[in-house]
Amino acid sequence: MPVPTTNVTFSSIQTEFGGANPVNMSEYYRGGARVPAGTATSGTDGTAISTSGLIRVGMFRGTSQTPANTPNNSYEVWYQRFGVSFATATFATNGVVTATGQGTQTVDSTPDWYTPVTTSIGNGYWIRFVETSASGNGAQVSGDALNTWHQLNISRSRTASTGSAAEAYYTYSYQISTSSSGTPVVASGSISLGALNSQF
């Protein structure tokens, strides 16, 4: 359960984030070994947990080991047109997911990856894409490298294009973590990208 919002003690911080006695506050810098970089700012103290230097017990009021605002979602993005068509899913650094493409949009389910939308929240998160299926002889894909953790301090995306094919259909799993090592994973889901060349 989260650190209390009143009567915060060293032991309550230790209970939430781990550690051993005697408590050493230098273990609890945000982005360090115990406190994820994406840990929310204390709603009571109004100050983010320090990443270095001065650190106060009040910074931990109401905070939690696992941020609660990274939902597990599935995304479907489909576009079709006469000629080359493409579909892109983009994870923005403010928590928004957008669907873009060339042609007529037929399916689009893009809920935010972080709620509420928060400027630069991605600075404390990393994302990894893993391809789970592919189809379309001559189809093309692009975007951020697969099987690699990418910091969400900039937008991250995957794109499927028909190229010389009649259609392109690719599916991915994704994971979102509060560290570059991928531990812990705080959200996951799937992405379906489809593009149809209607002239075939």
- pLDDT tens digits, residue range 115-133? 878 888 888 789 999 999 9
Residue 65 has what pLDDT? 74
In one-letter notation, the amino acid at residue 138 is: G
94 and 180, same domain (yes or no): yes
Q: Within 13 Å of residue 198, how many CA atoms lie on the same side as its CB?
A: 10
pTM above 0.85, yes or no: no
d(CA 30, CA 45): 15
Final residue belonging to a domain, choices 48, 65, 82: 65
Q: Which of 36, 65, 94 is the last residue of a domain?
A: 65
Q: What is the DSSP code string of 87-119?
A: EEEEE-TTS-EEEEEESEEEEEE---SSSS--T
Long-range CB pairs of 17-24, under 8 A, 24+ apart, other chains included? 17/65, 18/65
The C-alpha torsion from 99 through 90 and 69 to 46, rounded to 10°, is: -120
85 and 47, same structural domain?
Answer: no
Number of domains forming the structure of the chain: 2
Residues 86, 59, single domain; the answer is no
If asked whether residues 175 and 114 sit together in one domain, one would say: yes
Residues 119 and 31 in one domain: no
* Cβ-count burial 94-121 (b if 16+ within 10 Å, e if not): bbbbbbbbbbeeeebebebbbeeebeeb
CATH number at residue 104: 2.60.40
| Tens of pLDDT, residues 124-177 | 789 999 999 998 778 899 999 999 999 999 999 999 999 888 999 999 999 998
Q: Which domain holds residue 84?
A: 74-197
The per-residue pLDDT for 181 is 86
- In this structure, the number of other CB atoms found within 10 A of the CB of residue 51 comes to 12
Residues 59 and 32: their CA atoms lie apart, in Å, by 15
